[in-house]
């Protein structure tokens, strides 16, 4: 019996067997990486402002933006950690105001020559204590963190205005005044003005690095994202939910305390009414940076980009003659578009 082998038959390759994968669309890419959307908005805004006012493209503008964004960035990094855990905190401005005003007033009255490092550490510890109060209440009461922190916001502000003071003063401790005048870098513009990059920007750099490391390289950071994804699943995986709650709100309070002390030093003014009302701008910046309000997501890079965008709108659009009332309209429109991208991400 003779057998013939058909030489024309070949074994199909893996390329022929595998189904053709459709490359992701631009919309899908933006949905998976919302930070690029924020970058695009920043670039477009800069181009528009620069076309209207060419003086925008100078190093002094960047220095001013970094100076304006330092306090908001510290707030936003703390808010990122809370949002990633599935919660929300609106009391951080009250924590910052209480610590910065109370500590500044106490130091000026009892120890005007106190070293700045000690004042900064005291502010951070004060913020941690107030933040842990939030964490304990949220965990014990099993109540929504938004409701709890609205209550503690009024509580902290009430304590400040009732028992500590309501008047602002410019006679801050000597070390805080000196720190606020230290330049990290400066140069003289063509108009003869001195453009200064304050040394407080280093605190922002350190806070960003530490926050990134905590969220991406530690077990606590994995627990934060796990709890934000699903509280029940995080508990079944063995994460200590009480410890995570205390860490999240304590860390946010610490950054708020540091931000408050730096705010007084940079402005050389202690005002108990400062920082009030900036909560929505901070939360908007974190959302524009890619964090979901429902938790489980968010990056440090995206958060800083969101802060840059909000700071750009609030600080620079005035140079183009745009009324301040329109700034909120623009930020709101950007948030709506960002929300649409998140909806696309869930469908993809």
Q: How far is CA 160 from the centre of its chain?
A: 25
pLDDT value of position 169: 84
Distance CA 38, CA 227 (A): 26
Reported as a pLDDT band with limits 50, 70 and 90, residue 168 is confident
Task: Give me the mean pLDDT over the 48-77 stretch.
Answer: 88
**How distant, in Å, are the alpha carbons of 68, 101, 192, 259, 310 from that of 173?**
22, 12, 31, 17, 32
pLDDT value of position 7: 47
Percentage of the chain beyond pLDDT 70 is 87
pLDDT value of position 16: 47
Secondary structure of the chain in HEC code, one letter for each residue? CCCCCCCCCCCCCHHHHCCCCCCCCHHHHHHHCHHHHHHHHHHHHHHHHHHHCHHHCCHHHHHHHHHHHHHHHHHHHHHHHHHHCCCCCCCHHHHHHHHHHHHHHHHHHHCCCCCHHHHHHHHHHHHHHHHHHHHHHHHHHCCCHHHHHHHHHHHHHHHHHHHHCCCCECCCCHHHHHHHHCEEEEEECCCCCEEEEECCHHHHHHHHHHHHHHHHHCHHHHHHHHHHHCHHHHHHCCCCHHHHHHHHHHHHHHHHHHHHHHHHHHHCCECCCCCCCCHHHHHHHHHHCCCCCCCCCCCHHHHHHHHHHHHHHHHHHHHHCCCHHHHHHHHHHHHHHHHHHHHHHHHC
pLDDT digits (tens, 9 = 90+) for 302-347: 999 999 999 988 887 776 777 777 777 888 887 787 777 666 665 5
The lowest-confidence range among 57-61, 71-75, 108-112, 116-120 is 57-61
Domains of the chain listed by start with CATH number: 56-333 (1.10.3470)
pLDDT value of position 342: 63
pLDDT value of position 24: 55
Task: Give me the mean pLDDT over the 250-258 stretch.
Answer: 97
Mean pLDDT, all residues of the chain: 86
pLDDT digits (tens, 9 = 90+) for 10-51: 545 544 444 555 555 555 555 566 788 889 889 988 888 888
pLDDT digits (tens, 9 = 90+) for 178-233: 999 999 888 877 777 788 889 999 999 999 999 999 999 999 999 999 999 998 89
Task: Give me the mean pLDDT over the 130-154 stretch.
Answer: 96
Reported as a pLDDT band with limits 50, 70 and 90, residue 3 is very low
């Amino acid at each position: 019996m003779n057998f013939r082998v058909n030489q024309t038959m070949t074994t199909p390759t893996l390329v022929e067997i595998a189904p053709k994968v459709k490359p992701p669309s631009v919309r899908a890419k933006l949905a998976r990486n919302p930070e690029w959307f924020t970058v695009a908005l920043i670039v477009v805004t800069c181009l528009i402002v620069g076309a209207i006012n060419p003086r925008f493209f100078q190093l002094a503008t960047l220095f001013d933006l970094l100076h304006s964004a330092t306090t908001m960035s510290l707030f936003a990094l703390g808010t990122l950690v809370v949002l990633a855990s599935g919660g929300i905190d609106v009391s951080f401005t009250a924590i910052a105001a209480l610590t910065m005003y109370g500590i500044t007033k106490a130091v000026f009255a009892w120890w005007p020559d106190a070293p700045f490092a000690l004042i900064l550490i005291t502010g951070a510890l004060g913020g941690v204590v107030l933040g842990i109060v939030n964490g304990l209440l949220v965990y014990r009461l099993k109540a929504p963190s938004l409701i709890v922190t609205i209550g503690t916001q009024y509580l902290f502000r009430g304590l400040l205005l009732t028992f500590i003071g309501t008047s602002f003063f410019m006679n801050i401790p000597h070390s805080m005044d000196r720190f606020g005048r230290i330049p990290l870098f400066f140069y003289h513009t063509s108009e003869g003005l001195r453009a200064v990059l304050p040394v407080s920007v280093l605190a922002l750099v350190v806070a960003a690095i530490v926050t990134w490391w905590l969220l991406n390289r530690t077990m606590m950071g994995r627990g934060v994202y796990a709890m934000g994804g699903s509280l029940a699943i995080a508990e079944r995986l063995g994460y200590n939910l009480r410890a995570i709650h205390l860490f999240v709100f304590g860390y946010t309070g610490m950054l708020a305390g540091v931000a408050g002390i730096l705010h007084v030093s940079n402005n050389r003014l202690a005002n108990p009414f400062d920082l009030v009302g900036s909560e929505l701008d901070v939360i908007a910046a974190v959302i524009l940076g890619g964090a979901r309000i429902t938790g489980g997501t968010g990056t440090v890079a995206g958060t800083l980009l969101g802060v840059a965008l909000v700071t750009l709108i609030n600080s620079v659009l005035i140079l183009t003659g745009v009324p301040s009332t329109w700034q909120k309209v623009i930020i709101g429109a950007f948030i709506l578009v960002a929300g649409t991208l998140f909806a696309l991400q869930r469908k993809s």
